[in-house]
Amino acid sequence: EAGVVQSPRYKIIEKKQPVAFWCNPISGHNTLYWYLQNLGQGPELLIRYENEEAVDDSQLPKDRFSAERLKGVDSTLKIQPAELGDSAVYLCASSTTGQGNTQYFGPGTRLTVL
């Protein structure tokens, strides 16, 4: 069974440019998460989807970040415009619905903003 797929794996952009990350979760997983991982830190939740609905986006900086999961499967996370401080790894994870269920992580997208 395929795991969580993310693309691109690496992205280098100039500040003020837009950037988008794509995630394809494990088949059958209704819950999808986007996490931000800064260097030397643990991941921090940005947004959680249950099917198409964003049920927890309290940590998403909505002035520049947006996300969508239109058909309840794939998801896209966008930053516009990017700032130097956005340089980090963006991780996508998926799980079946329910507390305590295992979250399966993709390999992440490493963003560098110059």
Partner 1 sequence: AQSVTQLGSHVSVSEGALVLLRCNYSSSVPPYLFWYVQYPNQGLQLLLKYTTGATLVKGINGFEAEFKKSETSFHLTKPSAHMSDAAEYFCAVSGGLWGSKLTFGKGITLSVRP
Task: Give the footprint of partner 1 on this chain (CB under 8 A).
Answer: 4, 31, 33, 35, 40-45, 48, 55-56, 91, 93, 95, 97-108, 110
SS3 state at 85: helix
Distance, in Å, from the CA atom of 102 to the CA atom of 96, rounded to the nearest integer, reads 8
Q: Which is nearer to partner 1, 5 or 81 (CB)?
A: 5
> What is the smallest separation between the CB atom of 19 and partner 1, expressed in angstroms?
19
CB 9, min distance to partner 1, A:
8
Q: Which of 85/100 has CB closer to partner 1?
A: 100
Peptide bond before 18: cis, by omega within 30 degrees of 0? no
Least distance to partner 1, CB of residue 106, Å? 5
- Of 71, 76, 85, 67, give the one whose Cα is nearest residue 30: 71
Residue type (1 letter), 8: P
- Minimum gap (Å) between residue 107 Cβ and partner 1: 5
User: For residues 4 and 113, which CB has a smaller minimum distance to partner 1 in the complex?
Assistant: 4
What the block records as the tokens of 20 is 């988008």
State which residue, 65 or 108, has the beta carbon closest to partner 1: 108
**CA distance linking residue 24 with residue 104, whole number of Å:** 12
